Structure 1
Amino acid sequence: MKKLGILFFGFALLLTGCQEDQGYYLSGSVEGMEDGKKVYISERDETTRSLKAIDTTTIENGKFKIDMEDTDLPGLSFLQFEGVNGNVVFISENERINFDINKDSLRNAKITGGKENEALKEYLDHLKELNEKMLGLQQKIRQAAIDRNSEELNNIRGAKAELIDNDKNYKEELYKRNTDSYVGVMLLTDMLNMKSHSAPEVKDMFAELSDRLKKTPLAKSLEENLDNNLAVEVGSKAPTFTAPNPDGEQLSLNENLGKVTVVDFWAAWCKPCRIENPNLVKTYNKYKDQGLNIISVSLDRPGQKDRWIKAIEEDNLEQWSHVSNLKFWNEPVAKKYQVKAIPATFILDENGVIVAKNLRGDALADKIGELLN
């Protein structure tokens, strides 16, 4: 009986050895590429944000295959091909993933295998459809503007607003089905970056994400961005900062708070900012004696201090404080305030609490008047 037991055990091992690898395995067919060309499996470098190859295989008889080392967590990965521009996006997971690829249409590659990549396909298909509809509406808006058809223009804008609202609802529904999927993290990241959802909304949804997914680098980065965004939400204490003024002297926010303080982000090269500046001057002149203070933070480029100072003089902005590290979009103060576009304004009360943001023209003046009176 002992010998029989050993035989059964040996037969079980034999069966196990004959089974296909159920881990992270890639295979596919490639049309239009020569045999011998390399296929690179790449990931995005978190530091440089560029793609780096982590493994490679070659095309043989129009096909490729590679048994990858199993991954602890899913992540965004890319197939790149020797001598070919572009890449194929997929999610690494411990499944057999198959690709059907055409050299001239990498973005339309067909990917099968694994629940992560099924969810990714659903999301990418939605984004493609959304983009096509949005481009169509933009063309109609331009034509209606040329025709000066205000009724048609309003109808199209209403359709655009409905499309945006439907997109928001769809992403929320898709997320509910993917709280344990890497696509769930991608959805939350897009919601925050595209500002379709507020930081508090995304924070609440992030809490529903599985503990496993919260360990991914993308989720950790998202959580950090959420904390930074929440720090500049209305009702939060404004981030403190110290930065050099045009004379090179350090100026701090805390030492320059008025009854109401506007932190204004702009740049000499920013045309919308320069157009808005006269409104800012008008508002300042109206309320400066009642306690309004302005600190303008410039996102001008390195080596262009002269352009910054000239713009201050040309737009009559010398009346209030100005600071800049002249680091363009890497301006440290702008990063603290999560500024991704300018002009941007933050209105603070006498305690440095953000009470409103991104108001311009009459809306800005009215809010300041309301706070001071």
Structure 2
Amino acid sequence: MKTGMLLAALALPAISAAQQAYTLKGTLTTREPGAKAYLDRRVNGETFLDSAVLKNGHFEFKGTVKAPYLAMLVVDHKGAGLANQGMDMDRRLLYLDKGTILISGKDQISDAVISGSEVNKEHERYKLFISAYDTAMAGINSEFGAATAAQRNDTVFMNGLNARFHEAINTKKGLQRRFIRENPGSFFSIVALKELAVMNNMNLAELTPMYNGLTAALKKSPAGQEFYQSMETEKALGIGAPAPDFTQPDIHDKPVKLSDFKGKYVLLDFWASWCGPCRAENPNVVAAYKKFHDRNFVVLSVSLDQPGKKAAWLGAIEKDGLQDFVHVSDLKYWDNAVARQYGVRGVPTNYLIAPDGRIIAKNLRGDQLDKRLGELVSR
């Protein structure tokens, strides 16, 4: 894992708030020459990477934040460069917040102790609260990693792991719901709400009561306002609502509008070349297109590929056989203008739009798209 390591769930639009200064001071007892620390964070879809040389085991970062902000701290002990750290890199997730944050340890930053920061203290409490999920996932990953090739091809074995995976996810959801109920003023109740929003496709029937149960102060905070805006966006994109129009460049940099396809059934499909689940879903979309394209159906595909990654985007189109779709992107990653307009918090995400421009279905997976189109075009 290199740069861009933060979760999609954190990519909601930023809320205007006063900037506040932070200082992150780190200390390790190791004194290896050439060691460097890196601070990796993503703001509005753009990755920022700062570095600092360790001097007698000490390093320091300074900056500003509008609210507690998740970042990844990585220590390169040998001075080999961040790109050469491999999967066993020494790293630590922490929150940047106003004031001075201290982190100190012996050999590894991953085992270091954070002090001087209430939000990071609360983060440790939240992680402990949902630790049953992490324990379950560690066991699943360990068992999969140790599995033989025969076991990985064994349907019974893989189905068992898959069932345990879904059980772990349900455990996490239950713990997050409980945390929100029991901690209505905690910043991490908003963090939990964001994750639940991704996992349940922004189900407002579940999320709204949980949000309403938060304290007034938390709802007024930048994080609270941000989540409220995401719910308002979702309300405007409900079944029966008009799909917001937009313009974005295609693979030849020519402008394409959603309204260009009025009079047709349109699958507005958000994906990216780097998204494994998207690539796994592509064959289903291709199959539906081949079956219904001559019955007034088009696929308008919006890629959340990263700046400078047009070749990866085009390569995925070619490899997955998506050449007959209409493809657009501004190559701004999670800051893609259409994704922000539609409140996209994770990919794949899709909207099925009727010939009159109304949204008639969301997040159709597997054979659901085929079945829904079959119902519509046979009327």
Query: TM class by shorter-chain length?
Result: 0.5 to 0.7
Establish whether residue 275 from structure 1 lines up as the match of residue 287 from structure 2: no
Paired position in structure 1 for 2:134: 131
Relative contact order higher in (CA < 8 Å, ≥ 6 apart)? 2
Paired position in structure 1 for 2:331: 327
Instruction: Provide the C-alpha distance between the structure 2 equivalents of 1:316 and 1:80, rounded to a whole number of angstroms.
Output: 40
Q: Is the 8 A contact 1:199 1:226 kept in 2?
A: no
1:73-222 → structure 2 map (5 Å cutoff): 86=91, 89=94, 101-102=105-106, 104-111=107-114, 116-126=119-129, 130-140=133-143, 143=147, 146-147=150-151, 148-192=153-197, 194-196=198-200, 198-200=202-204, 201-222=206-227
Q: Is the 8 A contact 2:70 2:93 kept in 1?
A: no
Instruction: Provide the C-alpha distance between the structure 2 equivalents of 1:44 and 1:266, rounded to a whole number of angstroms.
Output: 22
Instruction: Provide the C-alpha distance between the structure 2 equivalents of 1:127 and 1:245, rounded to a whole number of angstroms.
Output: 43
C-alpha distance 165-77 of structure 1, shift in aligned 2 (>3 A) = closer
Q: Is the 8 A contact 2:271 2:347 kept in 1?
A: no
Residue 165 of structure 1 and its aligned partner are, at CA, apart by 1.0
Instruction: Provide the C-alpha distance between the structure 2 equivalents of 1:309 and 1:30, rounded to a whole number of angstroms.
Output: 46
Instruction: Provide the C-alpha distance between the structure 2 equivalents of 1:249 and 1:113, rounded to a whole number of angstroms.
Output: 52
Paired position in structure 1 for 2:3: none
C-alpha distance 49-272 of structure 1, shift in aligned 2 (>3 A) = closer
C-alpha distance 306-170 of structure 1, shift in aligned 2 (>3 A) = closer
Q: Is the 8 A contact 1:296 1:323 kept in 2?
A: yes
Instruction: Provide the C-alpha distance between the structure 2 equivalents of 1:202 and 1:268, rounded to a whole number of angstroms.
Output: 30
Residue 122 of structure 1 and its aligned partner are, at CA, apart by 1.9
Q: Secondary structure at the match of 1:239?
A: coil
Establish whether residue 284 from structure 1 lines up as the match of residue 287 from structure 2: no
Residue 187 of structure 1 and its aligned partner are, at CA, apart by 2.1
For structure 1, the 5+ residue unaligned runs are: 1-23, 65-70
Q: Is the 8 A contact 1:116 1:181 kept in 2?
A: no
TM-score by length of 2: 0.62
Residue 274 of structure 1 and its aligned partner are, at CA, apart by 5.6
Residue 168 of structure 1 and its aligned partner are, at CA, apart by 0.6
Establish whether residue 243 from structure 1 lines up as the match of residue 256 from structure 2: no
Q: Deviations 1:296-321 (Å, cap 9, x if unpaired)?
A: 22527447898699789x6562xxx7
C-alpha distance 208-33 of structure 1, shift in aligned 2 (>3 A) = farther
Instruction: Provide the C-alpha distance between the structure 1 equivalents of 2:254 and 2:25, rounded to a whole number of angstroms.
Output: 61
Q: Secondary structure at the match of 2:216?
A: coil
For structure 2, the 5+ residue unaligned runs are: 1-21, 60-64, 80-89
Deviates more, 1:204-213 or 1:135-144: 135-144
Q: Is the 8 A contact 1:44 1:51 kept in 2?
A: yes
Q: Is the 8 A contact 1:233 1:354 kept in 2?
A: yes
| Bigger Cα Rg | 1
Q: Deviations 1:1-57 (Å, cap 9, x if unpaired)?
A: xxxxxxxxxxxxxxxxxxxxxxx99999965479xxxx99x997856664789xxxx
Establish whether residue 359 from structure 1 lines up as the match of residue 368 from structure 2: no
C-alpha distance 339-352 of structure 1, shift in aligned 2 (>3 A) = farther
Q: Is the 8 A contact 1:175 1:187 kept in 2?
A: yes
Q: Is the 8 A contact 1:88 1:106 kept in 2?
A: no
TM-score by length of 1: 0.63
Establish whether residue 293 from structure 1 lines up as the match of residue 297 from structure 2: yes
Q: Secondary structure at the match of 1:347?
A: strand
- For the aligned residue pairs, the C-alpha RMSD in angstroms reads 5.2
Q: Is the 8 A contact 1:268 1:274 kept in 2?
A: no
Paired position in structure 1 for 2:6: none
Amino acid corresponding to residue 324 of structure 1 in structure 2: V
Deviates more, 1:25-34 or 1:181-190: 25-34
Q: Secondary structure at the match of 2:214?
A: coil
Aligned identity (percent) is: 22
